[in-house]
Amino acid sequence: MRKLRIVVALGGNAILTDDASANAQKKVLKETAEYLIPLITAGHQVIISHGNGPQVGNLVLQQEAAHSDKNPAMPLDTCVAMTQGSVGYWLQNALDEALLNHQLQKETATIVTQVIVDKSDAAFQDPTKPIGPFLTETEMQEEKLRTKAVYKEDAGRGYRKVVPSPKPIAIKEYPVIAQLIANDVVTISAGGGGIPVIQEGNEYVGIEAVIDKDFAAATLAEAVQADQLIILTGVSHVAIRFNQPDQKELQRVTTSELEAYKAENHFAKGSMLPKIEAAIQFVRGNPHGKAVITSLENLPNLLTEGAGTVITR
């Protein structure tokens, strides 16, 4: 088997269940680490990214609840960094334990990763990503005066702060990540889509935004010249006509075919569509690469049978 450089993008179900406690999340990550071991055992260079949506959402709630003049809430970019660090710490420890249990001599490292976005990205003109608590209209108006943030009504449940979700254009730390990979270190990076920053001269400035983790993983995969991008989600295969009597699971599919299915609105905006677009981005940017969308539980079958939705040019 040819040894590959593989970026694995973990979905939220690989980290968090209904229990948001630290112990519960660490337990889930121990189980996740076991699924990743066969990739490492096979000799592949593995780079892991992960989501942090629930974690950063919970942290924002905690920050807002404790906010005062003497103890001000941290800004969103800092909350992303904090949860990127905590989830990376848990996952790194889980991988270290799993590697030792399987008698594998491998080092692991977590890189707090800044992801550069374009300050002229159209997303800044139309913030859409809800974060933080639900507010009444009165509370919303008070917060709007205090913070100058944008709020939108959310499904009849109240008002929530919304922030932009710009596309990533570069991974600031990719040279360091590439060096770690070259030295056979299992690397965790670009967690939660990365810390969103814009470049102003020699300074990288954190901004109030959330980057989609799958687009960040695709950008990371391109930067480190990965052979494969594996996007893990809650289903073993991408499907068209999802949840309908004639649902069809996609096994092998080209980027052109996916574009046609996308034009027919087969993929939901809030769930599968970003994964499809990220996979297309990576494959089109890497003539010899391929992307796979499947579930964490299906990962062993991917290695032995090529199971999952495999996307090629």
Give catalytic residues, as residue numbers.
12-13, 129, 213, 275
Cβ–Cβ < 8 Å for 139, 64 = no
d(CA 128, CA 144): 16
The CA-based angle 96-98-80, given to 5 degrees, is 55
Nearest Cα residue to 195 out of 306, 116, 293, 125:
116
DSSP string across 187-252: EE-SGGG-EEEEEETTEEEE-S----HHHHHHHHHHHTT-SEEEEEESSSS-EESTTSTT-EE-SE
d(CA 8, CA 91): 13
What residues contact 254, with CB distance under 8 A and at least 6 apart?
A: 311, 312, 313
d(CA 76, CA 291): 31
Q: Residue 252: which region, alpha, beta or left (left: phi > 0; alpha: psi -120 to 50)?
A: beta
Token output for 163: 């922030």
Cβ–Cβ < 8 Å for 194, 211 = yes
What residues contact 202, with CB distance under 8 A and at least 6 apart?
A: none
